[in-house]
């Protein structure tokens, strides 16, 4: 069975950061709407300044939010470069992921 890769508005095919973001959502957040909604809430808390930053260590990835960026680190393959994505881009992907779970 071939499945279409997860897409969201602004996704750039072949961009290593976007590829890692899609893999993070599929592998660490999975189809768990509670986790997806918590992730969206943490993004909003950081964007609004209620939190100065936030970190989540999952099965395959470590995620860190700063005031402006999301930083993804592959915990399985240490040879993969850490990826930095703007928090706004990351937020668009998470919002799209939440909608796929509804």
CB 46: neighbour CB atoms within 10 A?
21
pLDDT digits over 53-76, tens only?
Answer: 999 999 899 999 999 999 999 999
pTM: 0.89
Which of 98, 100, 102, 99 lies closest to 35 in space, CA to CA?
A: 98
Confidence of residue 1 (pLDDT cuts 50, 70, 90): very low
Q: Are 17 and 72 in contact (CB under 8 A)?
A: yes
pLDDT digits over 2-59, tens only?
Answer: 456 778 888 888 899 999 999 999 999 999 999 999 999 999 999 999 999 999 999 8
Q: Are 54 and 94 in contact (CB under 8 A)?
A: no
CB 52: neighbour CB atoms within 10 A?
10
């Amino acid at each position: 069975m071939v499945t279409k890769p997860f897409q969201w508005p602004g996704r750039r095919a072949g961009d290593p950061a976007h590829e890692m973001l899609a893999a993070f959502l599929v592998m660490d957040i999975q189809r768990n709407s509670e986790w997806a909604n918590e992730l969206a809430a943490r993004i909003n808390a950081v964007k609004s300044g209620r939190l100065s930053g936030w970190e989540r260590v999952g099965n395959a990835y470590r995620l860190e939010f700063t005031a402006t960026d999301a930083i993804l680190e592959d915990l399985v393959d240490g040879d993969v470069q850490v990826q930095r994505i703007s928090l706004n881009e990351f937020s668009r992907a998470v919002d799209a992921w939440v909608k796929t779970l509804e």
